[in-house]
Amino acid sequence: MISYKLMFYCFAVSGIYLLVVSIVLSLVEVSLKLNRGLPKELVEESNLAWFIMNFVMEFLFFVVIPTIIFSFFYVVVPLSGVKAGLAAAVLAFLLGAVPVLMGLSVKIKLPMPLVLFGLLSHLIKLGGAMALIGYLYSI
C-alpha cells in the first residue's frame, strides 16, 4: 500500500534540498558568468519570477514525479536506500537530460562551459533529490 504520509515527507525534504541547491547553483552560475558570449536576445533575464517558475518545473520533474514512481515501484519491488535512489537518478539523467543537452549543443553553438554546468547542475539536483527519496523509503 502506498504511504501518502511518506510521499509528503519526500516532497518536503527533497523540495527543501532542491530549493537550497537551486539558489546556490544560481549564484555560482552568475559568478562564473556562463552566459558571456551569448546574444542578448537568447538569454532569459534571471529575476524572481523566472526562478520561481524554474523551481516549480524542477520540483515537478525532480521531486514529485520520481516520488510517485518510486512509491509505486516500492510496493512491487522493494527498492529502498540511497543506492536505489542514486541508481534511478543516474538512469533518468542518462536517458533524459544528457541526450537533450548534447543534441542542443550540437545544433546550436552554445559555450561548452554552459552545457557542462547545465549537465552537472541537473545531476546534482536529481541525484540529491532521488537519494533523499530513497533514504526516506529505507527508514
Task: Say whether pLDDT at 121 is over 80.
Answer: yes
pLDDT tens per residue across span 21-48: 999 999 998 899 888 877 888 777 778 9
User: Is the pLDDT confidence value at 8 over 90?
Assistant: yes
Phi-psi region of 81 (alpha: psi -120 to 50; beta: other; left: phi over 0): left
Instruction: Report the C-alpha gap between 53 and 99 in whole angstroms.
Output: 23
Expressed as residue numbers, the domain containing 104 is: 4-138
For residue 101, what are the CA distances in angstroms to 18, 32, 84, 115, 139? 20, 20, 25, 7, 35
Total number of domains in the chain: 1
Cell 536506500 identifies what position? Answer: 81
Q: Percent of the chain scored above 70 by pLDDT?
A: 98
In this prediction the pTM is 0.85
**pLDDT tens, position by position, 43-93:** 777 789 989 999 999 999 999 998 888 888 777 777 677 888 888 888 888
